[in-house]
Amino acid sequence: MSKENEKTIEVYKEKASLYLETTIKHDNLDPEKAKRKRERLEKFIRSNMERLPKGVKVLEIGSGDGSNARYIKELGYDITASDIAEDFISAIQDKDLKTIKFNVLEDDFKERYYAVFCWRVFVHFTKEDAEKVLQKTYDALEKDGLFIFNAMNREIRNVDEEWVDFPNEYHMGVERYYNYFRKEELDDIISKTGYQIYDFHKEGGENNNKWLVYVLKK
């Protein structure tokens, strides 16, 4: 695990409850916008999860408040939520979800899954971290399993990486490490793992290109 990710994890362990609070405050600034974003994400999750048989095992990496895992459970899948901060884990368990404390860069997978979902987590990975996660998830998936994740697009940033705390959105009072990926870089990393790029699109931001969104197939 990189020193950048290790330091960022310590921030989340200490500040997870504040992150949850500020997330709610941010969504309440424009409830209709938050609702539209949620509906788009749920449509994306549903369209990809429905490629798999109902009831199969799914893991979410970095579940935060557990909203995505809860939706996947509602769709009829055997979802395990995970995170590294106790306050996140408590929030997830409050949603009556099967939950584990799990650091994908350090911990071994205990089970095999038909899908792994990882949303807004790659922003904190160095390129070396990203390659390690991609290979570990590949090895943990069943044949034809899916890895679904997103990463922030370097094309809309002025730097490759930075330490930053947001003044309003998701403010935590301490800087975290953010890394921004070019599609060509991620495609190259993906090609080394054995994955096939099953689907790809860009979304978010003013020009609908803030995030690089991947669905990979083993």
Interstrand relation of 211-217 and 196-203 (parallel, antiparallel or unpaired): antiparallel
pLDDT digit string (tens) for the chain, length 218 residues: 899 999 999 999 999 999 999 888 888 889 999 999 999 999 999 999 999 999 999 999 999 999 999 999 999 999 999 999 999 999 999 999 999 999 999 999 999 999 999 999 999 999 999 999 999 999 999 999 999 999 999 999 999 999 999 877 677 889 999 999 999 999 999 999 999 999 999 999 889 999 999 999 99
Q: Which two tokens stand for residue 119?
A: 């949303």
Q: Which two tokens stand for residue 216?
A: 């990979």
Tens-place pLDDT, residues 24-50: 888 888 999 999 999 999 999 999 999
C-alpha span between 148 and 141 (Å, rounded)? 12
C-alpha span between 4 and 97 (Å, rounded)? 30
Longest dimension (CA), the chain: 44
CA 121 and chain centroid, separation: 4
Tens-place pLDDT, residues 165-176: 987 767 788 999
- Could you give the domains of the chain? 3-217 (3.40.50.150)
C-alpha span between 119 and 122 (Å, rounded)? 8
Contact 86, 12 (CB under 8 A): no
